[in-house]
Structure 1
Amino acid sequence: MSLNIVVMAAGKGTRMKSSLPKVLHKLAGRSLLKHVLSSTAALQAQARIVITGHGADQVEAAVAGDGIRFVRQEPQLGTGHAIQQAVPALEAGGTTLILSGDTPLISTPTTQAMVQASQGQKLVLLTIHYADPTGYGRIVRDGDAVKAIVEHKDATSEQRLIRECYTGIMAAPTEALKRWVGQLSNQNAQGEYYLTDIVAMAVAEGVPVVAVTTADETEVLGVNSPSQLAHLERRFQRQQAEALMDAGVRLADPARLDLRGTLSCGRDVEIDVNCVFEGTVSLGDGVRIGANCVIRNATIAAGARIHEFTHIDGEAAGASVGEGALIGPFARLRPGAQLGAEVHIGNFVEVKNSTLAKGAKANHLAYLGDATVGERVNYGAGSITANYDGANKHRTTIGADVHVGSNCVLVAPVTLGDGATIGGGSTITKDVAPGQLAVARGRQTVISEWVRPVKKK
């Protein structure tokens, strides 16, 4: 049986007060629309259709791929009008699941339940019970069967006591849906075509109308304003924090965590306040993350300690921290940073596209770019690899047990052999053999009986 998934994403989102189309605003690091599409990926639909309108080019470019088809709704004349535009793209037979691009947290189990309930034979409405249903369309039933959706303004005093409300999400028999939306009228105060009018058509034809009810308000909350987006962000972050704590992660304050991707954790992981995790991050057993860290696309091995205010951004290349390593505070690891076990990276040290072997240390105010660093290297404060000649990048190779003094410049390409020592303040432009001492700096001159100038009165 075929399955169509239609996502309505044509609205302007006036209350967002933004030039960015509403469905492209981000929740937990991903656009609202991408959240919706991700939740339906497991359904293996024969057609996934996104209805665009306002900012169509921008929306389509943002989510193109994975077999998604686009249809445009121009002008936007209501939800029923939107589905009318999608009708030519629907695969024949089966079920069509209709979702909203600004309701981002709809869950996969809920969408699966709706498709299963429809079976290409029934019109299925997703409903929820509200303690205060004011403003929502009420579900009017006759036993288990749904007979109507009555808008709040049109409801009788008795109907307003109904707490079951329509969420705006439905699944319908595809062939019947095509027929129903073709019969919609815009003879109403707004001059729009309302998709909810098909409920009365289904009842009139004797097509069963049933409800799937969710108890989770978060998955049916829409976004129409920056305030609603922020509110939903905090709800979602709290859900993710609860899931981490259920898995054994110690969060200093679950209200001060931002997870904008995927975070996997081993046993006895501790995360302090105000940390942000983006992309794909993995934390091994016993990892401790200090306050105010930002970690993106990184793997951190067991026992490592990431001190406060550290920034790790692996981007596409990724970054990794070995077992028992100590990073920070105020350190920065960039793409391609690959740190071995027990490596120390201290305050205001930056590492990019470099490999540091076990026990290597760069504890203060240093830069390592495009470098291969051996075991137990001590890299002095203020030292840098000069890896860029203005056109190309070059690599620095530092052997095991090398000692690099403070304020040195290693001009790549250059190799320091095992056990070499570089005197502080040196600019090294030639290879240094194993075990040698290299000093490259101006000779110190001392002038006796020198008098410092004084200001004239």
Structure 2
Amino acid sequence: MTLDIVIMAAGKGTRMRSARPKVLHRLADRSLLQHVLDRAAALAPERTLVITGHGAEQVEAAVGDAALCVRQEPQLGTGHAIQQVVPHLGDAGTTLILNGDVPLISPATARALAQACGGERLALLTVVLDDATGYGRIVRQGEQVQAIVEHKDASDAQRQIREVYTGMMAAPTAALKRWVMALTNANAQQEYYLTDIVAMAVAEGVPVVAAPAPNETEVLGVNSPAQLADLERRFQRAEATRLMEAGLRLADPARFDLRGTLTHGMDCEVDVGCIFEGTVALGNDVRIGAHCVIRNAQIGNGAVIHPFTHIDGDRDGAVVGAGSLIGPFARLRPGAQLGREVHIGNFVEVKNATLADGAKANHLAYLGDATVGERVNYGAGSITANYDGANKHRTVIGADVHVGSNCVLIAPVTLGAGGTIGGGSTISKDTPPGQLTVARAKQVSLGAWSRPVKAPKK
């Protein structure tokens, strides 16, 4: 059966107190709307339509080719919004209506709602709440829904009803088109309400059924920063639970953030306050220390990432080899490719550099645009001067080279295998293998010199 999906994304979100359209606020590093689009795509609809309004250009740019955008200008209610997409809907099948600010509805729940419609019934997504204050109540007669009664219009008996309407529904497409075009705005707000089609369906004898959501989290919308933060924690706790069930050890699931995808092997441990972004893969026996940020990276078996380390592979990705020790307070930037048992210590930065097995840079150093051989020992305070003000150049360090402390390697330059660079040297020419190279000024002591003193105050 043909399925069309309509996503309501025209609202301003006044309570967000933001210039950004509400549906573009981010949950787990993706916009609310992108979450809904991803879930819609999982249902493989015939077509997906996004209704835009406030901030339409920004929203439409974010949607791109993922759906057809239709503008609602001005915004005159939910029924008016659906009127705008009527010309773009099919002539038969089911239309599923989702909300762009309700990001965590699962594909299974959305699919069940569409199936409850089946192209023949008006199906309303409902949820049972402990406190239903402010929500429209579902008034039933047996299994059939008779009406949605707004809280302010409900009787005392109706206010005892805990089943409420979530704002999402599925309807026979042909009937939906007919119903919404018959809506009127004869109400105090002079808006066209989509919920008015319930009475139309009942009058026509079309069955109106409720499809219950499995939990409250799936149907919670975002109308304020506080609600966004609450939903973020709900999402993160669900992700943490899923990962722990798969064997990942989390020191505290309440202090864990996943903003992408995380895969892991056996016996991996993650301490508190860690953030994973993009695509991250952990091998077996990996340990991640507290407060690390890891983005687009592969971490090999047995590697240890000490606390407060920042790994950002960006588009190029970063690789940490098996048995490597990284941090604390280390930074791996895009293009960092580390072999087995590499040591990157505190306050060491690696960018677009390859370090072969056993290489070490244990503290206070920079390796950028470099190829580093096996077992190299890179001294504290040493840097590759890889940028000449216009172009980047590469430094090549052969196997078993020892670079002393506080050296400057001015690229392009090659250090021969097995060589030693004396501490404090500035190297601007290639060095031979197996030899000591020193390039620094002769030490001089001046006995007649005196230290400047402060001038007396006037």
Same fold (TM over 0.5): yes
Give the shorter-chain TM-score range.
over 0.9
Distance 1:110 1:176 in 2: 23
Distance 1:5 1:436 in 2: 71
Instruction: For residues 57-102 of structure 1, give each alpha carbon's deviation from its aligned partner in whole angstroms, at most 9, with x where no partner exists.
Output: 0111112123x10000111111000000111121331111101111
Distance 2:166 2:455 in 1: 82
1:263: which partner in 2? 262
Instruction: For residues 209-260 of structure 1, give each alpha carbon's deviation from its aligned partner in whole angstroms, at most 9, with x where no partner exists.
Output: 1121113100100110111111111111111111121112111111111111
Distance 1:43 1:179 in 2: 25
1:427: which partner in 2? 426
1:385: which partner in 2? 384
Distance 2:302 2:409 in 1: 32
1:144: which partner in 2? 143
1:182: which partner in 2? 181
1:436: which partner in 2? 435
Distance 2:354 2:338 in 1: 6
Matched position secondary structure for 1:370: strand
Alignment partner of 1:62 is 2:62: yes
Distance 1:190 1:150 in 2: 16
Moved over 4 A (4+): 448-457
Deviation at 1:119, TM superposition (A): 2.0
2:14: which partner in 1? 14
2:99: which partner in 1? 100
Conserved? CA contact 1:137–1:150, under 8 Å = yes
1:25: which partner in 2? 25
Distance 1:162 1:282 in 2: 47
Q: CA RMSD in A?
A: 1.4
2:115: which partner in 1? 116
Distance 1:243 1:42 in 2: 20
1:406: which partner in 2? 405
Distance 2:106 2:455 in 1: 79
Matched position secondary structure for 1:243: helix
Deviation at 1:54, TM superposition (A): 0.5
- The number of aligned residues is 456
Deviation at 1:42, TM superposition (A): 1.2
Kindly provide the amino acid, as one letter, of the partner of residue 270 in structure 1: E
Matches within 5 A, 1:312-331: 312-331=311-330
2:219: which partner in 1? 220
Instruction: For residues 170-196 of structure 1, give each alpha carbon's deviation from its aligned partner in whole angstroms, at most 9, with x where no partner exists.
Output: 111111110000000100011110001
Range moving further from structure 2, 369-378 or 128-137: 128-137
Matched position secondary structure for 1:315: coil
Which consecutive unaligned segments of at least 5 residues does structure 1 have? none
Instruction: For residues 381-430 of structure 1, give each alpha carbon's deviation from its aligned partner in whole angstroms, at most 9, with x where no partner exists.
Output: 11111111111111111111111111111111111121111111111111
Conserved? CA contact 1:2–1:92, under 8 Å = no
Kindly provide the amino acid, as one letter, of the partner of residue 172 in structure 2: P
Distance 2:187 2:447 in 1: 98
Distance 1:332 1:288 in 2: 17
Deviation at 1:316, TM superposition (A): 0.9
Conserved? CA contact 1:129–1:215, under 8 Å = no
Conserved? CA contact 1:80–1:184, under 8 Å = yes
Kindly provide the amino acid, as one letter, of the partner of residue 257 in structure 2: D
TM-score, normalised by the number of residues in structure 1: 0.97
Identity of aligned residues (%): 73
Matched position secondary structure for 1:238: helix
Matched position secondary structure for 1:111: helix
1:357: which partner in 2? 356
Distance 2:260 2:274 in 1: 13
Q: 1:199 to 1:456 in 2, by over 3 A?
A: closer
Matched position secondary structure for 2:62: helix
Which consecutive unaligned segments of at least 5 residues does structure 2 have? none
Distance 1:128 1:454 in 2: 78
Kindly provide the amino acid, as one letter, of the partner of residue 38 in structure 1: D
